[in-house]
Amino acid sequence: MTKPRVGQSLASLVDGTTVVVVRAPNEDLTITCGGVEMLDPKSVKAEDRLPIAPDQQEPTLIGKRYADAADTLEVLCTKPGQGRLAVNGNPLSVKAAKPLPASD
């Protein structure tokens, strides 16, 4: 468990997923992908990859924002993969895009 920082990059140990923290509460959290804690991208090597459990497979989509149910944590997917994003064991969901204001 660590305190995520806004702007921090995180990489998956089970696939190529990387995310950037957009919003984070001031508390310790465990952000996972495919059931395995995400780490600093500089510390993740291809030979360290772990298999994804079948129940943890849910594709992450590049350019999409993912948030927790309380909307206190938000991450932006910068590289897609096959592992499900979660925080403290609770899955993150794709955040809906806000509509642009109408122009006349």
pLDDT per position as a tens digit, 10-65: 999 999 999 999 999 999 999 999 999 999 999 888 788 888 888 999 999 999 99
pLDDT per position as a tens digit, 61-92: 999 999 999 999 999 999 999 999 999 999 99
pLDDT per position as a tens digit, 24-33: 999 999 999 9
SS (H, E, C) the chain: CECCCCCCEEECCCCCCEEEEEECCCCCECEEECCEECECHHHCCHHHCCCCCHHHEEEECCCCEEECCCCCCEEEEEECEEECEEECCEECEECCCCCCCCCC
